[in-house]
Amino acid sequence: MSEDKVTMTDVEARKLDWIKHHVEYYVKSGGVEGHILDLRDVGAFNFCPTFLLKTIGRKSGKPRIVPLMYGITGGEVITAASKGGADVHPAWYFNIEGKNEVDFQIGTQAFRGDLRWPEGDELEEQWQFLAKVFPPYGEYRKIAKRTIPLLAIRAREEIPVFTAADLA
């Protein structure tokens, strides 16, 4: 799937500035700000946790940081490659496809962690969990014409928090 073209949805295009500012705010504050968001305007809660996932662009070779909704269960960070229910995977998915580890930041702590993709019964169980954490995930899953992958990350070692240099 790594050769698939990544396209942008209308919703994503409208949110680009917001996403960029959110990441900058989160990173420049060292994670003190931006971890918890009020997302009632999109059908979620007023206390939604976000983490930052750092990838290296598969074509550009440049670092990329994306904010993602998450939940923690069984000692793992769980998130969805939902792209708002779009029919294509998000670019960050292709950047980590085939990788065994990723760098991520939750609040004021950053980690290198082991990455895996839940499947089968576990996948369904994790979807039920995430839909409770962030209700729009349930709708995204219904409207997508693809199977939206979930990823599970287990922190292995602490690393320095992301900096403005990571935003280049």
Q: Are 30 and 77 in contact (CB under 8 A)?
A: no
The verdict on residue 2 lying in a domain is: no
Report which of residues 14 and 59 the model is more confident about.
59
The verdict on residue 36 lying in a domain is: yes
The verdict on residue 4 lying in a domain is: no
What are 69's strand-pairing partners? 50
Domain span at residue 163 reads: 10-167
pLDDT at 16: 63
Give the CA distances from residue 41 to residues 7, 21, 115, 117, 142, in Å, rounded to whole numbers and listed in that order.
25, 18, 31, 30, 20
Query: In this structure, is the dihedral angle defined by the CA atoms of residues 102, 107, 110 and 113, taken in order, positive or negative?
Result: negative
The verdict on residue 3 lying in a domain is: no
The verdict on residue 54 lying in a domain is: yes
Q: Provide, rounded to the nearest whole percent, the portion of the chain with pLDDT above 90.
A: 60
The verdict on residue 59 lying in a domain is: yes
The verdict on residue 91 lying in a domain is: yes
Residue 118 has pLDDT above 90, yes or no: yes
State how many domains the chain has. 1
Find the mean pLDDT for residues 108-131. Answer: 95
For strand 76-80 and strand 71-73, is the pairing parallel, antiparallel, or unpaired? antiparallel
The verdict on residue 95 lying in a domain is: yes
Find the mean pLDDT for residues 114-141. Answer: 92
Tens of pLDDT along 74-96? 999 999 999 888 888 999 999 99
Q: Provide, rounded to the nearest whole percent, the portion of the chain with pLDDT above 70.
A: 90
Find the mean pLDDT for residues 119-123. Answer: 94
> Domain of 141: which CATH number?
2.30.110.10
Q: What is the mean pLDDT of the chain?
A: 88
Buried/exposed code over 33-60 (b: 16+ C-beta within 10 A; e: otherwise): ebbebebeeeebeeebbbbbbbbeebee
Tens of pLDDT along 18-64? 788 889 999 999 999 998 887 878 777 778 899 999 999 988 999 99
pLDDT at 1: 45
Neighbours of 82 (CB within 10 A): 23
| pTM score of the predicted model | 0.87
pLDDT at 2: 43
